[in-house]
Each structure stands twice: as C-alpha cells, then as structure tokens.
Structure 1
Amino acid sequence: MNQPLPISASVEVAASPATVWETVSDVTRMSEWSPECRRIIVLGSKRSGVGTRLLGLNRRGWAVWPTTSTVVRFDPARAVAWRTRESGATWSYELEPTAVGTRLTGRRELPRFSVGTTVMAPLIGGAVGHDEELAAGIRTTLERIKGAVERG
C-alpha cells in the first residue's frame, strides 16, 4: 500500500502572531477556509483548549462524511492542533513571528493510512489522490486565512 504524502505549507501574514491567533485558534471557523471541511461543531462544554472534542463534516465531490477529533495542542499565539480519530491524522497550524508579521504553517501528520481511510478510499477517489488534493487544499486554506486576517 502507498504511504501518505507529507503535507505542509506556509504563508506570510502581515499581522502579529496574536492577531493571527485570534482567527486560527477558533477551529470551528476552518469550514470558512478549507476546500473540504464544511462544518465543525464543538462537542461538550469545553469550547477551546487541549481536550476539546470536535465533530466535523467534510465533503469531496458527492462524498460526505463525518469526523471526530480532539484538540491535542493549544499554545496561545503559537500553535493549535487536533487529531482526527477516523484517519489518525493530526492537523496543526503553527505561528512564528517574522519581520513582516507571522509565518503561518499548516501541516498534516499521518504516519500511515488507517483502516478507515483504506475502506473509504474507493469512495473518495483513492487515498493517494485524496492526499494530493489535501496538499493543494492546505495551501488554499492558508491563503484564505491570510486574506481574512489581513482584511481585518
């Protein structure tokens, strides 16, 4: 079986890490920027921070599927990350101060395709094909976040 592609991209945002953090730390807003994520709902009473549970709804073409995730990193003005149970992927957004403002890096860490991903692969066009789309999608997501932050 093929291995997952490394997925990572960065963008320079003309704003401070604190300003970028105000946008990125609200993971329920990912549906505004991601080409695939349609909605994220917080489960339970914990609204933000490590341990926050999330229900996501994704769409790719005609395929629609739910995901469940848990926030595994929440470092104010530095990084937010969540692990998706079904795929085993950890999605992170890291902020680093630069001379211009902030370097925002989006990344998906996935050591191997899960059984769930393998089973879903025919429905979503293949795991490797989906990886290529996710790699392009994270760049789109970062550009959309950059635009939202810089527009204020």
Structure 2
Amino acid sequence: MDRSISDESPLFELRARVDVSAAPDDVYAIVSDLPRSGEWSPECLGGEWASGAPSSVGAVFRGENLREESVVSWAPVVRGKWTTHSEVVAAEPGLTFRWAMRDTAGRRQQSVWGFDIEPTEGGCTLTHHFRMDKATEGIRGIVAGMDEQERRRFFIEWGAKVEGDLAATLQRVKAVVDKG
C-alpha cells in the first residue's frame, strides 16, 4: 500500500517573522492575551479562557472563529463561525507563547501555534509559527473522501493559506504594538 501525503510528519511547519520596536515583555503581554486575538488574527475573532490561569501552561482557551467561503473553496473545510479549544503548552514571558489545538474529546493534538520573541537592539523580532505533526481530527475529516491528487492539492493550498495568515497576523500585531 502506498503511503499518503496525510501520513507525513510534519504535515506543516510554517513561520513568518517581523521586527517590532517594542520590548520583548511588552510584545509577549499582547500575543499571550488570546482573548485579544481578534485584533490581529485573520480567522480568530477572540474568545475566552475556559479553564486555568489565563496565559499559563495548561490553561484552555475557547476561540471563536470565522472562515470565509473563498478559503480553499473546493475542499470540505469548516466555513462560517465555529469554536475551537486550545491548551497553552509553553508560556515564558518575553520569549515564547504556544498553544496546541484540542480535538472534540479534549485531547491535545499535534497542531501547535505560537510566537517566539528574540530581543534586538531596537526592540525584538517576533516569529509566528505553526507546526502540525500528525493530521488533526479536522484535517483527517477534510481529506477522508479525497484521492491522493486531491489531498496533495489540499495540503499545498492549505499551507499557502496558513502561511499568508501567519504573515498577516504579524503585520496586525505590529500595528497593535505600534499603537501602544
């Protein structure tokens, strides 16, 4: 039996960077405040902390999301509004903040989003990254009825979409930071 692209690991490993004229701790305070993510995310409208101390390892965030009809329009992805649950997996002020998506049973998946912050002479470099090792519950559902050619097309288009979202997010975070 041939190995499918959906069995590869990592499926996605994407990142974008931007220089910001603010102290690492100030940038961290913004990006670790997930309820504010509607100010910078192309999909997440914001949300609320569902459990745990906000922005700390183990805390669970319930996000409200919105995806336009045009996003990989031929594939059966969730459209309109939906919610997600994610768990903070790294929280080091001024350095890194990461969260892993949870499945419908509340288990942490190998789908991790995050921000890393490196000090620079004029502020810091902010890196936004996404890594999916094994296919998540949602991805498995999306590609279940696809043949291998369609799966490859989906992963290429989805990767390009996420890459664009990472870059857009950073530009929006930079604008929020610049406002003070």
Q: TM-score, normalised by structure 2?
A: 0.75
Supply the distance in 2 between the matched residues of 1:60 and 1:126 (Cα, whole angstroms). Answer: 16
Supply the distance in 2 between the matched residues of 1:89 and 1:49 (Cα, whole angstroms). Answer: 18
Q: Which residue of 2 aligns with 1:68?
A: 85
* 1:115 to 1:25, Cα distance in 2 relative to 1, 3 A: closer
Spell out, residue by residue over 1:19-78, the C-alpha distance to the aligned partner (whole angstroms, 9 max, x if none).
212211212211211111122221025222111101112222140332111001110111
Local SS of the residue matching 1:11: strand
Q: Which residue of 1 aligns with 2:171?
A: 143
Supply the distance in 2 between the matched residues of 1:56 and 1:65 (Cα, whole angstroms). Answer: 8
Local SS of the residue matching 1:23: helix
Supply the distance in 2 between the matched residues of 1:102 and 1:35 (Cα, whole angstroms). Answer: 23
- Asked if 1 retains the 8 angstrom alpha-carbon contact of 2:12 and 2:133, the reply is no
- Tell me by how many angstroms 1:128 deviates: 3.8
1:59 partnered with 2:66: yes
CA RMSD of aligned residues (A): 2.0
Alignment of 1:1-152 (within 5 A): 1-2=4-5, 3=8, 4-44=11-51, 46-62=53-69, 63=79, 64-86=81-103, 88-121=110-143, 126-152=154-180
Supply the distance in 1 between the matched residues of 2:32 and 2:66 (Cα, whole angstroms). Answer: 22
Listed as ranges, the gaps of 5+ residues in structure 1 are none
Supply the distance in 2 between the matched residues of 1:78 and 1:107 (Cα, whole angstroms). Answer: 14
- Asked if 2 retains the 8 angstrom alpha-carbon contact of 1:5 and 1:132, the reply is no
- Asked if 1 retains the 8 angstrom alpha-carbon contact of 2:43 and 2:66, the reply is yes
- Asked if 2 retains the 8 angstrom alpha-carbon contact of 1:117 and 1:127, the reply is no
Alignment-mate amino acid for residue 139 of structure 1: A
Supply the distance in 1 between the matched residues of 2:33 and 2:142 (Cα, whole angstroms). Answer: 28
Listed as ranges, the gaps of 5+ residues in structure 2 are 70-78, 104-108, 146-152
Supply the distance in 2 between the matched residues of 1:58 and 1:106 (Cα, whole angstroms). Answer: 18
Supply the distance in 2 between the matched residues of 1:38 and 1:21 (Cα, whole angstroms). Answer: 19
- Tell me by how many angstroms 1:79 deviates: 0.8
Larger radius of gyration: 2
Spell out, residue by residue over 1:104-143, the C-alpha distance to the aligned partner (whole angstroms, 9 max, x if none).
0011111132242121358xx9454222111100100011
